Structure 1
C-alpha cells in the first residue's frame, strides 16, 4: 500500500515579490550597453507607467532596505533634480515619436519624495510633465510620504498637480512599537500628518502598517488598526516585518524563527479578518481597499504586460526584453556613492545595469504578478499572450501549490486563484516560481 506523504510546507515569510526578476539578479551590462532608443523602438508605448525615484529620507527605519540615504547636504537635492531632468530628456528622446507615447499612470516613490521642498516638488512634477509628456492631472498619480514631511505646503503642491493617492508609512500607532522598529516618531505627529492629508482632499489615502514587531500583541495590533480605521483610509497595506542584511535590525542580530513565523501569521489573519469585517476588500496579501473607494490605478495599464519608465538612480525600467536600472545597494556608504555618480552623469542614453528577460521569464513574471492578486488570473488571458496554458508551462509548481492547499478549488475552471491559505503564504509561493537562473544570480549577489 502506497502512503501519500504530504508536501513540506515552506516557511511563510521568504521574500516580498513586488517585481520579478528581483533587482539582486541584475548585473552590469558591460561595455556594449544597449541604447535606449533601440530597446524601446518596437515596444508599445501607448499605456506606459512612469516612476520617479527620490532617494532621500530624514531618518532610516530599522527594517528598511530601500535605496535611500539620510539627509541631503550641500544642495544635493538640487543636483539630483538636475540629473533627473537630464535623464528625462534623454529618455523622452529615446522613446521617439514614431508611435504614440502616452503614460497611463505615474508615481513618485523613494525614499521619501516629500523630503523635497514644495518648490522642488513643483520641479519634480514639471520634469514628469514637460520633459516626459505625462499629463499628471489626467492619470492616476501616487506619491509616498512620511509623517514628518507631510506638510501643508507640500501637500498643497501635490493636490494642485493632480495627485490622486498619497501613501503614508505609519507602521504602528503605538510609540513603543515604533521605537522597537527603529522608527522615531510619536503618535501625535502621525495623527497631525493624517489630518493635513485629509485637509488636502487628495482622493485616496493609503496607510502602511507593519505586523511582527518585537513586543507587538494581537491587542496592540488591533489598536493600531483601529487608529488607522479612524481616518477611513481608502486603502490599507499590512506588511509583515522582515529583517534584512545591512539594515539596522539586521545589524542588531534579529532573525526569523518558527515562533516569529507563527506570530506574523497570527497577526496577519487577525488584521485581515478585522478589515474584512469593517467593509474592506482584500486585493492581495498586503493590500486592502475600502468597499466603494475610487481605484488608485489606471484601468488601461497592466503591470504584467505594459512597460515602465523609471527615472532616478533607484528606479527600474521594463521593456519586454530587458529590465534595467542603475546599481543597487543597501549600505549607506554605497548608496551615497551611487547617488553621487548619478548626479554627475551626463549621458543617460544607454542602460547600465539590468537583466534580459526571455520567454520563460516573461511567463513566470506574468503568472507571479497575476496569481498573487486576490482576484486571480484568467487562464484565457495567459493563453492569448503566450499560446500555452499555465498548467503546460508550470505543471510541477502548480501541482505543488494544489497539494499544499494554496489554490482555490471552488474557482471557475477558467480562473487560477489562490485560496485563503495561499494568499496568506504569498511570500512563500512567489519565490517558488523563480527560475533556477534567477535563483542562482540572487544567491551570487553580494550585499553592499
Structure 2
C-alpha cells in the first residue's frame, strides 16, 4: 500500500495553485498535529496494520511543519503501519523552508530518504511572477545543503510554459538543473486552473502563455535533452536517473491502493474511493470521532478501466494490452483499429512487447488521444 500525508499549510497561495492549501496558522498546526495520529490509529486498526511500501508527505509545504509537530506525527507512522524495510519515504520542501541543516538532518533520522524540492524556476523574474517565496540562489543553496547533510535521493520540480518563456530559456534552465546532478526531475507544463489569480489574469488579457508550437518544442526538446543527459522519461512529466524513479508516484499510475491522510487527501482502497474534507477543523473532527472514510464510493468497472487506460498511457511503459483484455474481455486494438492505425502513421503511438504506448509527440497531445480512444 502507498501512504500519502497531506500537509495543507504554506507561506501563501501561489498564483497558479489550486491544491488544498492555506496560509500557515499555528493554531491550526496544533489541531493538525493532534488529529493526524488519531487518523493513523483509525486506519491502522481498521486495515490491520497494513504493509506500507512508500510514504509521501505532500502539500502545501510539509517543510513548514515545526520540529515539535514532526515529533508528534512521524513516530506514529511506524506504530500504526508496517513499514517495508526498503520503504521509499519522500518529503516535499520549498527551498525557502529547507535552509536549516538541523531540520534536514532530523528528517533523515526519522527515516525520510527522498527529498522533493519545489524549485519551479531558476529565473528570479519567473519566481516572482509565480508568487514563489524563494529566489534562484536560495534554491541552489537548499539543494546543496540537502546534499551536504546526507540526502542521496533528491528530486527537483520545475514548471515550463511560463508567460514570456521561450524554448532557449527552458533548455538553459534544464542545463543548470542537470549540472546539479539530482536523481530525479519533475517538469510540469503550466496549467491555468480555474479560480486562481493566474486564471483571472489570463482571462483579463493581462497574461499570455507561449504559443502552442513553442510549448510543444519546450516539451519535446526538453525531454530529448534530459534523456541525452541520462534522465529516463518514465512518465509524461517525470525523469529519473537509473534506479531513481518515484516508486510512490509509479504506484498511482499502476493503479495500486493508496491511503491519503490529512485535510483534502484522497484514498483508493479495494475499489473504494473517498476524500477527506479540505477544512482542517472539519477533518480533525472526523479523525477524533473515528469517522474518516465513511463517505466512500465504489468505483464502477467502467471507471476502473478508464483510469487504467488513462494512467497507463501517461507512462513510458504504456498500456498492457493483456491487462485490458482481462479487465474488459475486449481487444483494445480491434476496438480502436482505425484510430490506432492513424496514430501509428503519425508516429504518435507505438506497439511493442504487448504494450501500446505514446511517443513524445503523442504525450504532447495525450488529452486529445484519450478523448478519441474507445475504452
Please give the TM-score of this superposition, normalised by the length of structure 1: 0.75
2:44 maps to what in 1? 92
2:75 maps to what in 1? 126
1:417 to 350, 353, 357: 357
The range that moved more, 250-259 or 180-189, is 250-259
The range that moved more, 133-142 or 162-171, is 133-142
State the Cα deviation string for residues 21-80 of structure 1 (Å, max 9, x = none).
xxxxxxxxxxxxxxxxxxxxxxxxxxx111111001112211111110011143x21211
1:68 maps to what in 2? 21
1:340 maps to what in 2? 281
CA distance in 2, matches of 1:393, 1:69: 45
CA distance in 2, matches of 1:152, 1:179: 25
Q: Is the 8 A contact 1:114 1:144 kept in 2?
A: yes
CA distance in 2, matches of 1:432, 1:128: 43
CA distance in 2, matches of 1:421, 1:95: 43
Q: Is the 8 A contact 1:138 1:162 kept in 2?
A: no
CA distance in 2, matches of 1:114, 1:434: 43
State the Cα deviation string for residues 109-159 of structure 1 (Å, max 9, x = none).
1111111013322332212211x2242753111111100111322211221
Q: Is the 8 A contact 2:161 2:209 kept in 1?
A: no
1:306 to 223, 243, 256: 256
2:157 to 199, 208, 221: 208
1:52 maps to what in 2? 5
Larger strand fraction of residues: 2
Matched, 1:140 2:96: no
1:375 maps to what in 2? 317
Shift of 1:257: 7.8
Larger helix fraction of residues: 2
CA distance in 2, matches of 1:400, 1:323: 36
Gaps of 5+ in 2: none
SS in 2 for 1:156: helix
Matched, 1:189 2:138: yes
Instruction: Decide whether aligned partners of structure 1 residues 315 and 394 sit closer, same or farther in structure 2, where only a CA change above 3 A counts.
Output: farther
Shift of 1:241: 0.5
Tell me the number of residue pairs that the alignment of Structure 1 and Structure 2 aligns.
371
Shift of 1:239: 0.7
CA distance in 2, matches of 1:394, 1:50: 36
Shift of 1:298: 6.9
1:30 maps to what in 2? none
SS in 2 for 1:382: helix
Instruction: Decide whether aligned partners of structure 1 residues 240 and 301 sit closer, same or farther in structure 2, where only a CA change above 3 A counts.
Output: closer
Q: CA RMSD in A?
A: 2.8
CA distance in 1, matches of 2:77, 2:5: 8
SS in 2 for 1:214: coil
Instruction: Decide whether aligned partners of structure 1 residues 115 and 396 sit closer, same or farther in structure 2, where only a CA change above 3 A counts.
Output: farther
SS in 2 for 1:374: coil
CA distance in 1, matches of 2:96, 2:283: 27
SS in 1 for 2:96: coil
1:246 to 195, 200, 207: 195
State the Cα deviation string for residues 214-242 of structure 1 (Å, max 9, x = none).
12222321222122112101111111011
Which one has more relative contact order, counting CA pairs under 8 Å at least 6 apart? 1
Q: Is the 8 A contact 1:177 1:215 kept in 2?
A: no
SS in 1 for 2:236: coil
